[in-house]
Structure 1
Amino acid sequence: MRTLTVAAFISLDGVIQAPGGPEEDRSGEFRFGGWIVPYADEATGQAITDLFSQPFELLLGRRTYDIFAAYWPRIHNHPIADPFNSVPKHVATHRADTLAWHNSHALKGNIVDLIRALKQQDGARLLTQGSGDLVRQLLAAGLVDELRLMIFPVVLGRGKRLFDDSAFASAFTLAHSTTTPGGVLITRYVRSGEVRTGTFEDAE
C-alpha cells in the first residue's frame, strides 16, 4: 500500500488558483495569477526540488495535466522536468485518447474508487500538484495521507480554495516546517487520525 501526498501553493485565506502565472486560470474573473512569483527565491526553489527528489507518481486533474503537458516536455536536464517527464502520470479525464505526454494513464470512472485502488497497489507514493477539483474530492473521501503546503503571506480575497465544507474531518501532525526569507511557510503535515475535542473545564 502506498501513500497519497497533496502538494499545494496556498495563500493565507486558502486560495490555490493560478499561483504560477496570469494566464494559468482566469476563471471567475480571477486577477491575481502569478501571486507566488514575487516570493520565489533559493529557499522555495530548494523546497520544490526536495519534494520531487523522492520516488513518486503524479496524480493530476485534467486542467493541470494540460498545463503541465504543454510546458514540461519541452524542458530537459532540469530537476523538476526530468522526473515529471518520466514518471507515471494518472489523470482524471474522460478524454483518454488525448493524453500524449509520455507515460500518461487515464482514470475513467468513479475517481475515488480508482484512486483508492491505486493506493492499494505497491509502488511509489502518489503526489498531486495543483488539480484543485480533484484534490477536494480526495479530501472529501479521506484519502489524503500528507499535506505539503507552501503558505504565502498574501490574502487574495477570492479564488478557488484548497478546502471546502466537504473535506473529511481529520487531524494532522506537523512533521516539519521552515520559513523562507520572504516569509513563505514551508510545511509538511502527516495525517494522524480523528479530530479530538475537549473543554477547558476538563483541563482544569
Structure 2
Amino acid sequence: MRKVTASLFSSIDGVVESPGEWQFDHFDENLGALMGTALSTQDTVLLGRVTYEQWADYWPGNQEDAFGSFINPIQKFVASTTLAKADLQWENSTLMDGELKDFVRRLKELDGGDIAVDGSISVVRQLLFAGLLDALTLVVHPVVAGSGQRLFKPGDPRTRLQLVDSQITVSGNAVLTYGPRPD
C-alpha cells in the first residue's frame, strides 16, 4: 500500500502559513538534500484549493527551480468543492472525485510511489485526524513568526503520534517526522 506523507515548514510558535515570509534565511543545503530525498519517492501530490490556486499561478513559470521541475510534471489531485474541472489549467492536475478521505483511501490502494500533501493545511489536518497520514514532517525554523495560521486548533481531537526521525540542519532547522503511534 502506498504511503501518504505531508511536510510543512513551521515557525517555533507553530505558524505554518506563508513560510516564504519567514523561512528562507534558514533554508540551507542540508534541508535541500533532505527535501530532494523525500521528493524522489513521490509520484503523486495532493493539494487543497488555496495551495493549488497559489502554486498554479507561480510554478509553471519556474521550470528551472528544483521544486518547479518536480511539481510541474507530477500528477496533482486537487481537493475542492468550489473549483470545476475546467478551472484546472496547470499540467497534470485533476479534481478529486468524491469526498477527500474516500478518494485518498482508494488512491492508497493503487500501485505507485508515495503520495505527498504539499502545503494544504486543511488537507493535512483532515488526513491526519482520519488516520490516513502515514508521516507528518515538520521543518521547524528557528524563528517566531508572530502571526499566521497554525496547523492545530483548539478543540482538535487528541491524536497520539510517535517520532520516527529527527535531524538538525546546519542553520538550526529541526526536521521532525512523526508517524501514527500503534496502540
Q: Is the 8 A contact 1:58 1:89 kept in 2?
A: yes
Which residue of 1 is the match for residue 11 of structure 2? 11
Q: Is 1:102 matched with 2:86? A: no
- Give the CA deviation at 1:82: 1.7
| Per-residue Cα deviation, 1:132-183 (whole angstroms, up to 9, x for no partner) | 1111111221111001221112233432111233356232232x32212221
SS at 1:187 equivalent: strand
- Give the CA deviation at 1:63: 0.8
| Aligned-pair identity (%) | 36
Q: Is 1:173 matched with 2:163? A: yes
Which residue of 1 is the match for residue 36 of structure 2? 49
Structure 1 unaligned spans of 5+: 21-33, 195-204
Matches within 5 A, 1:64-103: 64-93=51-80, 94-95=82-83, 96-103=85-92
Q: Is 1:60 matched with 2:47? A: yes
- Give the CA deviation at 1:185: 0.8
Largest Rg, 1 or 2: 1
SS at 1:193 equivalent: coil
Farther-moved stretch of structure 1 (37-46 vs 84-93): 37-46
Q: Number of aligned pairs?
A: 180
Q: Is 1:121 matched with 2:110? A: yes
Whole-angstrom distance in 1 between the partners of 2:109 and 2:149:
30
Partner AA of 1:98 in structure 2: D
Structure 2 unaligned spans of 5+: none
Whole-angstrom distance in 2 between the partners of 1:158 and 1:108:
34
Q: What's the TM-score, normalizing by structure 2?
A: 0.88
SS at 2:72 equivalent: helix
